[in-house]
Amino acid sequence: MSFVRKRWLWILALSLMFASGIYLIDAYLDRDPDDHPLPAANGAVSQVSGISSHARQIFAAGQARGNNARVFVNVGDSITYTWAYLRDFNSDYDLGEYTYLQAALDFFTGPNGFGESPFWSEPIAAYAGWTSADVLTPGHALNEACRDDEAPLVCEYRINKPAVALIMLGTNDAGGGVPVATFTANMQTIIDLSLEQGIIPVISTIPPMIRRDETIHAYNDAIRYLAQTNAIPLWDYYAALIDLPDRGLSADGIHPSRAPDKLDAYFDAEHLQYGFNVRNLGALQVLAALRIGVNHFSD
């Protein structure tokens, strides 16, 4: 049976599962003995899991292709394409009790293909309102360095040659009524493109959304299942938000909340009650876990 036929049969089966109301369970058996959340500060649990021998193999393949071990990129929508995400790590941040994360900040300095820090550089494969289809659509890239026939994701990978891609898509798909099976197929294509380039794809669950709990659960179940079946890291942002005040959401019920002082990269107890502070913490936890778990990353 061809690879393409297998994939579409799997997508069809997944869509039937969701249609019949049978949701994938959140907890699943490990594919690898290393697939466990890493401890964070003071016994807290990191937002990332699933860093296994497969991630090390992907990294090694990428290094053979000339990818930059010190570069990561971001793929997403307005929750990624915003000054509230990552930018403060270049100027004003406070790790609080998470001082172990400084090593990740020091390591992932790039420079990327634009000669910039990955924490500061404007993403090519992220923009407000984008769905999982947008990052795969030729001509949608807004950066002038991209070719007319290039999808934003392809352009991002060609120019920056990252070792890691932090991927969070689905909020606009869910809000726009995109079927879970279509979203799943798009995400699988994004994962495949990443693996072909030797780039470790870290896929993130999406935040809660007011009055769309059932839809968000279905999307996040699909994301967790994709992480499991592809043996790639999972960033469980939803789980990190759900117990925060207002579930970590702003007044619009869609975007993460921000602290009143806009200190989005402060990690004390007060600031970690807000969605974007938790998102920034999660990004660093992912990068730190990869640097440790994929032990081929070197200084």
CB neighbours of residue 103 within 10 Å = 15
Domain assignment present for 8 = no
Strand order in the sheet with 162-168: 48-49, 234-235, 200-204, 162-168, 68-76
pLDDT at 64 over 80: yes
Residue 202 · residue 48 · CB < 8 Å: yes
DSSP character for 249?
B
Average pLDDT, the chain: 86
What is residue 33's three-state secondary structure?
A: coil
- Residue 211: predicted pLDDT: 86
298 within a domain of the structure (yes/no)? no
Number of domains in the chain: 1
**Does an H or E element contain 68, and which?**
strand 68-76
Using 50, 70 and 90 to split pLDDT, how confident is the model at 295?
low
Give the pair of three-digit tokens for residue 197.
């380039």
pLDDT for res 32: 38
pLDDT over threshold 80, residue 46: no
Placement of tokens 């466990």 in the chain: 36
Q: What pLDDT does 37 receive?
A: 40
In this structure, is residue 149 part of a structural domain? yes
Task: Give residue 41's pLDDT band: very low, low, confident or very high (50, 70, 90).
Answer: very low
List beta partners, residue 234: 49, 203
Q: Is residue 68 part of a domain?
A: yes
CA dist., res. 292 & res. 299, Å (int)? 12
Taking a C-beta distance cutoff of 8 angstroms, is the pair 159, 113 a contact?
Answer: yes
The verdict on residue 37 lying in a domain is no
Structure tokens at 158: 């060609």
Burial 33-72 (b: 16+ CB within 10 A, else e): ebbebbebbeeeebbbbbbbebbbbbbebbeeeebbbbbb
3-state secondary structure 51-63: CCHHHHHHHHHHH
The 3-class secondary structure across 158-188, one letter per residue, is HHHCEEEEEEECCHHHHHCCCCHHHHHHHHH
Q: What is the pLDDT of residue 294?
A: 84
Give tens-digit pLDDT for 120-164: 999 999 999 999 999 999 999 999 999 999 999 999 999 999 999
Is 233 within 8 Å of 51 (Cβ atoms)?
A: yes
Q: What's the pLDDT score for residue 280?
A: 97
| Of residues 58 and 20, more confidently modeled | 58
Which CATH number covers residue 71? 3.40.50.1110
Residue 13: pLDDT over 50: no
pLDDT in tens, 67-95: 999 999 999 999 999 999 999 999 999 99
Query: Mean pLDDT, to the nearest integer, of 234-255?
Result: 95
Assess whether the previous peptide bond of 111 is cis (omega < 30° from 0): yes
* pLDDT of amino acid 296: 56
Query: Considering the entire predicted model, what is its pTM?
Result: 0.85
What is the model's pLDDT at position 298? Answer: 55
Q: Determine, yes or no, domain membership for 98.
A: yes
Task: Indicate the burial class of 237 (C-beta count within 10 angstroms; 0-12, 13-18, 19 or more).
Answer: buried
Give domain status of residue 83, yes or no: yes
**Please, which residues have CB within 8 angstroms of residue 160's CB and are 6 or more apart in sequence?**
68, 71, 73, 112, 113, 114, 118, 121, 124
Residue 14 counted as domain residue? no
Structural domain of residue 156, as residue ranges? 44-293
- 275 neighbors 259 (Cβ within 8 angstroms): no
The rounded percent of the chain whose pLDDT value lies above 90 is 79
Residue 35 reports pLDDT greater than 50: no
* Contact status, residue 266 vs residue 277, Cβ threshold 8 Å: yes
CA 299/CA 104 separation, integer angstroms:
11
**Per-position b or e across 169-204, b if 16+ CB within 10 A of its CB:** bbbbbbeeebebbebbbbbbbbbebbbebbbbbbbb
